[in-house]
Amino acid sequence: MKAIKKIYLALVFLFLYAPIAVLIFFSFNASRTRGHWGGFTLRWYRELFNDPEILRALYNTLSVALFSSFISVLIGTVAAICIFNLRSVVKNIVLHITKIPLANPDIVTGVSLMILYVFVFHFFKFGNFGYWTLLLSHIAFNVPYVIFSVLPRLQHLNSNIFEAALDLGASPSYALRKIILPEIMPAVLTGFLLAFTLSIDDFVVSFFTSGSGVNNLSILIYSMARRGINPKINALSSLMFLCVIVLLYLVNKRDIVFSKLENNQGDNENEI
């Protein structure tokens, strides 16, 4: 029975990672055709970093991901704290409304945002699709993910800590910055990483809200794939996969460090 489980697990991982392994393998192929191995080369990586269109799309992708993640974390963290302090009935209503964007198909979100921007541009007689509409769209679909990353952490906090800080003379803003935020910081970082990953990965919402002349990597890869698979796509995808591996490693290290700090803090409290 154990052997069957191991074989099943191996087949699952093979199904998941074999395509990625093939992609990385052919990113070093000197031949343009995928059915022929022309020898080892780094040509496609060199051409990748010398392609202004790809570099411009990479800049748009990373800048939108970073800015949208920071802004989403600010909005989402404040919103999570506000939702946590609502009354139970109102809190449940707000939580159900917040869950709608998570369950909503991306194409519905993308088309809805596109129609909203068209209405605003027509009503105010200025503006056009571009970088800012792309950034606002990414902020819009990232905020709910940050909220539901921070809320569970708030629910596990001791509610008496904040009140004790107020009784000792701390102002609400000081208690929030020095007590609440350090306690929920692991969840805030998790929300940031989740928002950053979703922003880089998004295609549908970006496609409907970016406008002509502004591409991110997902839109560029889609347009390049329609003209035929360019070997530079293999190189670009391989580097993106490497970045994901590094990001996952850092997240795991962060979780280990925070868990050790929490255990040490618990041990010190028990000693006291």
Give per-residue pLDDT as tens, 178-201: 888 888 888 898 899 889 989 988
Q: pLDDT grade, residue 252 (50/70/90)?
A: confident
> What CA dihedral angle connects 237, 241, 247 and 251, to 10 degrees?
140
Decide: pTM greater than 0.85: no
Look at residue 258 in the predicted model and tell me its pLDDT: 58
User: Residues 117-158: pLDDT tens digits?
Assistant: 999 988 888 878 889 999 999 999 999 999 999 998 888 887
β-pair partners for 40: 29
Q: How far apart are CA 45 and CA 28, in angstroms?
A: 8
Query: Which of the two residues, 160 and 145, has the higher pLDDT score?
Result: 145
Give residue-wise pLDDT tens across range 80-90.
Answer: 988 988 888 88
Q: Is the pLDDT of residue 63 over 90?
A: yes
Give me the residues paired with residue 29 across strands: 40
Residues of the chain above pLDDT 70, percent: 92
Q: Which fold has domain 53-271?
A: MetI-like fold (1.10.3720)
